[in-house]
Amino acid sequence: MPAIGAQGARGAAMRPVTMPARLAGLTVFLPSHNEEGNVERVVSSFLAELPKVAEVFEVVVIDDGSVDRTGEIADRIAADDTRVRVVHHAVNRGYGAAVATGLKTARQPFILLCDGDGQFDPADMERLAARIGDHDVVIGRRARRADHLMRRINGKAWTTLSRILFGLRITDMDCGFKLFRRSAVENLELHSSGAMVTTELMARLAGRNARICTVNVTHLPRVSGEQTGNSPSVIIGAFRDLFALYRELKKARKGVAAQL
């Protein structure tokens, strides 16, 4: 597995943003599970900022089997604004499945993943878009993570393990704010249904020799809803998927080496 170049570490430094011409087209998709207190505010915030970043744009809410009013609220927004779409999972299929759905249903040449919990500032799209011109992927790095201590410790440990196993020079693996060229993620099959999907996504993109850089972004406190990423079932599932991916990619590398 080729490592991501050192440009990723250098790119994390905060720098003034000089915006080029707006992106030709941008899909923002929001994985959302039980986010009734956030979905309207988050969608509205993106709609206010997107004209600064893209000529054509859409916001797609991925309602991952919510049992509250997330889907209902999102449907109402979409009925009033053609720039908004909603994709419903009939049952909760997990964060990974929501990410895979978002990547597959995006219609524009650039795709922004943003968690639907309202912890990212849509204005930071400009910072990512300013770097996409000579990269395939621009990933956010939460310079000051607005989470409790144990969640920060777990995130750091997960990133460290992922870097060791896959040779990824990324300092904030599970940051839910990433910008992709659509061409970079086309026909990319993701198998993780849970929290491990961001590591899988970055490992598979590195395997495609994607040009990746990192940009500091703002991380905001959650004002509504509950975090689920630290539940024991989610953590156990993530580790199971992580080592399954490691075995798969290791086997694939051995197969390639045997053919040389």
The residue segments making up the domain with residue 207 are 7-13+21-255
Number of domains the chain contains: 1
2 within some domain: no
Kindly list the distances between the CA atom of residue 125 and the CA atoms of 99, 181, 221, in Å, as whole numbers in the listed order. Answer: 18, 14, 18
CA distances to 69, 71, 230 from 40, rounded to whole Å, are 11, 11, 25
pLDDT tens, residue by residue, 137-170? 999 998 876 556 566 666 667 677 777 777 787 8
Looking at residue 174, what is its pLDDT?
A: 84
pLDDT digits (tens, 9 = 90+) for 66-84: 999 999 999 999 999 999 9
pLDDT (mean) for 109-130 = 97
CATH classification at residue 145:
3.90.550.10
Confidence of residue 13 (pLDDT cuts 50, 70, 90): very low
229 found inside a domain: yes
Mean pLDDT in residue range 104-119: 97
pLDDT at 16 over 60: no
Looking at per-residue pLDDT, the higher value among 123 and 167 belongs to 123
* pTM for this model (two decimals): 0.80
Cα–Cα distance for residue pair 86/46, rounded to 1 Å: 15
Cα–Cα distance, 70 to 224 (Å, whole number): 12
Whether 199 maps to a domain, the answer reads yes
In this prediction, residues 204-229 reach a mean pLDDT of: 84
Mean pLDDT for all residues in the chain: 84
Q: What angle do CA 93, 113, 209 make, to 5 degrees?
A: 105
Specify the residue for token string 């986010």. 35
pLDDT, one tens digit per residue, over 25-68 is: 999 999 999 999 999 999 999 999 999 999 999 999 999 999 99
